[in-house]
Copies of this chain bind each other. A is one copy, B any other.
Amino acid sequence: MNRFLDKVKLKIKENNSLVCVGLDINPEAMPDQFKSDYLRYQRAGSEHDQARVIHEFGRWIIKQTAPYTCVYKPQLAYYEAMGLPGMMALMRIVDEIHRYGFAALADSKRGDIAETAKMYAKALFEVFDFDATTINAYMGQDVVEPFLAYQDRFAFVLTKTSNKSSGDFQDLSFRGDGAEEKPLYQIVAEKAQAWNAEHKNCGMVVGATYPKEMELIRKLTPEMWYLVPGFGAQGADPEALIPVGVNEEGDGLVGNSSRGVIYAKDPAKAAQKLRDEINQYRWKQKQMPRAGGGGSSGGD
């Protein structure tokens, strides 16, 4: 049993949703009441009150979006940029995510080796009690092992990322042992697949902005789970991505939107809209058309 996958699968079913809501909390971008409170406490140097406001905003978002979401993903950079109040708030927001029955996925993109990677895993999985994290495997297998050693947690390896310059290195074509050339992201995908075969708790980050690459990756790794950022503010198109991204059961991925949901005028509506857009294409798999259309965990 895996704490992360169990909770995600339960919520996918319960809420009929593949939506991951990214909690990238920037005090400047919060609604006016939260923002003015935060800035007032910041001027007063009241760190505990700053933390409380961030926590309250996070709870407000979770409460509204909970019926349309399958997992929450705090982006650590935003909390670190607030200093100590941010770290205090992050701990409480992770608790809040758990209280609502969801898995908490740390977008940390950590990547270090040996003793150091163990410390990052300890920080994320023990101190903050996250269920999962994103990791960067540029330094190779040494990075990955300490995270996957937590059998009830989960780690998503950066494979093909959603940003414009992701091709700088990820798209370069390499020659492995054989004569065949492959892009780096494919080599990373194959490694991640091997790590998952051994540990059963390794997924991949595959950007929603690259459907062609997603199609290749899904073909290679039909059994794996992906975190798919790029919806919402980054403008990815569910119609192009979802049919090539989902597995046979119409899931196997969670699609993330951050700013597009949490800073929307109505976060609940924004989450619902993304859920419905994604669901429109969940049963139109391009790779593996199924007789009868529906999957095993629900349909539209």
Chain A interface residues toward B at CB < 8 A = 24, 26, 75, 77-78, 80-84, 87-88, 91, 107, 109-117, 119-120, 122-123, 126-127, 136-143, 158, 161, 163-170, 172-176, 181, 184, 187-188, 191
Contacts and interface: CB of A to CB of B under 8 A. Distances in A.
Nearest to A143: B165
Contacts of A110: 77, 109
A140 B170 contact: yes
B165 A184 contact: no
Given A110-B109, A181-B175, A170 B138 contact: yes
Please report whether the interface of chain A is mostly helix, strand, loop or mixed according to DSSP.
Answer: helix
This chain: copies in complex: 2
A81 B167 CA distance: 33
B142 A169 contact: no
Given A80-B119, A82-B127, A84-B84, 4 more contacts: A77-B119, A77-B120, A138-B161, A140-B163
A263 B136 CA distance: 29
Contacts of A164: 140, 142
Contacts of A115: 24, 26
B140 A138 contact: no
B123 A139 contact: no
Contacts of A181: 175
Contacts of A82: 127
Given A117-B77, A120-B81, A136-B138, A187 B175 contact: no
A123 B77 contact: yes
A84 B88 contact: yes
